[in-house]
Amino acid sequence: MDDLKPPITVEDADGVMLKLCLKVEIYFRNAWHPDTRRALLDVFNEYREYFGADFQWTTNPNTGRWKSLKKTPYPYPDEWLADVPQDEEWEFVFHGGKRKTDASDIDFVALGCRGYENEEEAPLSVEGELSYLYCHFPIDFFADRDEKLPGVFRRWCSRLNAEQAYAGFGLAMSHGYETRVEPLVYQMGERFPGLNIGSDTAHSRYLVDSIKTPNWLTALCLPYVDQLGGEAALRQLLPDGWVSAYDGGLIVQAGDKPLLGDAEQGLDVAPYRLAAQVFRPIRSTNHGGIAFGRVDGKKVYHTQEYRAWLARFDQETSDE
């Protein structure tokens, strides 16, 4: 973490707007299936073991309204998720911010899409959308733990039969003041190429048959691996020790540690760039925008701006 340069926390009179964190995001299918829901609960309850005592807020699964976990007991998804009809979408949110709108590096969000006919038999289908979870960890959480983030990531990807997944440095954003912080997210995303910038709801729609650019950890399901020539080809193209298996695909770990880089200081994220060159055939080229507004008259991750961000690793550096 030697290149850790951006502000750790951005706060104003309305609370915490932005916070640097470690972020995990996993995209999966068949959220309507009881086995997938049980798997998701297993992942959530493991996260709850880490941070449950720090949870401050959740949302009502029917109305989406915020509920304080410190005032009155409130049901956890173990109590209701199994009863959601297969043709209905579901979502839950738990976070540790002092205010319900605060950005927090303790944050777990999951959304399950309704069932689609033949979805189980059609991975990478353009029909429907991807279900997802994302969660945050404080950036120093794994420093003194025996199990590091790659082990947790592999276990969760296996449990959910991840179609694609990412882990590394990310930004926790306010729940409610997103449009206020989008300009700062844009500025940080342009400066620090190792940040995982995105919108899970947008990715759910746009990444049904393509992927983002790599983060420190990137999971690819077997159909994507096959499109890249298979496991043997990936192992040949990438450095020793980068490729490992999970139940459903392969994980590429781009180097020994997560990186941020810094365009202003000339700090590259060469391992990510190498992985991106290999992943280029399956990377999204038709993604829509993820934000609105302007910074100094320039658009903030509208469609073309976000596509440019996804393509930021397309040109090789001279030292590779």
Distance CA 242, CA 216 (A): 10
Structure tokens at 120: 């189980």
**Average pLDDT of every residue of the chain:** 92
Residue 272 pLDDT > 50, yes or no? yes
State yes or no: pLDDT of 250 exceeds 90.
yes
- 21 is written with which tokens? 């964190």
Q: State how far the alpha carbon of 255 is from the alpha carbons of 41, 148, 151, 177, 236, in Å.
A: 30, 14, 15, 34, 16
What pLDDT score does 1 carry?
A: 38
Would you say 42 and 157 are in contact if contact means Cβ atoms under 8 Å apart? no
Task: Tokens for 296, please give them.
Answer: 């100094």
135 SS3 class:
strand
- Amino acid identity of 161? N
**What are the pLDDT digits (tens) for 140-183?**
999 999 999 999 999 999 999 999 999 999 999 999 998 899 99
- The confidence band for 232, taking pLDDT boundaries of 50, 70 and 90, is very high
Residue at 279: amino acid letter: F
Cβ atoms within 10 Å, residue 297? 5
Whether the pLDDT of residue 2 is over 60: the answer is no
What sign does the dihedral 83-86-89-90 (CA atoms) show? Answer: positive
Angle at the Cα of 195 from the Cα atoms of 188 and 190, rounded to 5 degrees: 35
- pLDDT-derived band at 57, boundaries 50, 70, 90: very high
Mean pLDDT over 268-281 rounds to 97
* Residue 76 in tokens: 């956890």
Residue 247 has a pLDDT of 97
Q: Cα 270 to chain center, whole Å?
A: 21
Tens digits of per-residue pLDDT, 5-48?
456 899 999 999 999 999 999 999 999 999 999 999 999 999 99
Mean pLDDT of 71-89: 92
**Residue 164 has what pLDDT?**
98
Place of tokens 């992927």: 211
* Local confidence band at 318 (pLDDT 50, 70, 90 cut-offs): very low
Q: Of 7-16, 19-28, 83-92, 306-315, give the lowest mean pLDDT range.
A: 7-16
For 297, the enclosing helix (H) or strand (E) is: none
> pLDDT at residue 102 above 70?
yes
- At 29 the pLDDT is 93
* 241 Rama sector, left if φ>0, alpha if ψ -120 to 50, beta otherwise: left
Burial class (CB within 10 angstroms; exposed 0-12, middle 13-18, buried 19+) of 237: middle
Q: Which pTM was predicted?
A: 0.93
